[in-house]
Amino acid sequence: MFFSKKITLHLVIAFAMATLFSCESNFKDVQKINVSNFAPMGEADTVNLKYTDSGRVKAILIASKMLDFGNASFPYTEFPKGVDVTLFDKQQKESYISSDYAISYKGTNVIDLQGNVKITSNDGKLLETTQLYYDQKREWFFTEKKCKLTLGPGNIFYTKGFDASRDFNDISGQAFFGEGQTKDF
């Protein structure tokens, strides 16, 4: 009798162990059901957008990839492979912007440009930095990163922190250093 109780106990333990181990993979599958993948609501390849206002082209944006996260709680559009933008002023003079990555926040109308950011104004001024923000409402560029500003041949400055109007006519920085001066700021 003692022997049969022992066998029964071992069988119950073996059955319970088998049940627990077989449920482990099912439990992991159930956990995966509750995890939602954060995905864009729209995706586009080879984008060529033209922004017009009152019949005039104000900007042209070219990107090889665009992801629209308009379904997020703080909606944004991401350009993971970078952008090339041409801006037109009232006289239709062109300025150019390029970066390796960009993200545009719809709620604030601020664009975050990152990686090899270059802006060339219509009169040949060139700004180079690693990250730059553009406030579309105020038409204003700003950053706290190191920048190189070329105003013409032999007229090169370095600064940490930079603010400028869209046309670069109004420029300010935290500290400007000329070519040949210390750049370790």
Residue ranges per domain, the chain?
1-35, 42-178
Please, which residues have CB within 8 angstroms of residue 13's CB and are 6 or more apart in sequence? Answer: none
3-state helix, strand, coil in the chain (%, to 5): 20, 55, 30
- In terms of Cβ atoms closer than 10 Å to its own Cβ (0-12, 13-18, 19+), residue 176 is middle
Residue 143 to residues 84, 120, 127, 140: CA-CA distances in angstroms? 19, 16, 11, 10
pLDDT of residue 89: 83
pLDDT of residue 18: 57
pLDDT of residue 35: 47
pLDDT of residue 21: 60
Split the chain (185 residues) into runs of 10 and give each run's mean pLDDT: 56 59 56 61 92 89 94 92 91 92 93 95 90 91 91 84 83 70 50
pLDDT of residue 19: 59
> Alpha-carbon distance 119 to 128, whole Å?
7
pLDDT of residue 166: 81
pLDDT of residue 8: 63
pLDDT of residue 156: 87
Fold of 42-178: lipopolysaccharide transport protein A fold (2.60.450)
pLDDT of residue 130: 96
Rounded to two decimals, the pTM is 0.73
pLDDT of residue 152: 82
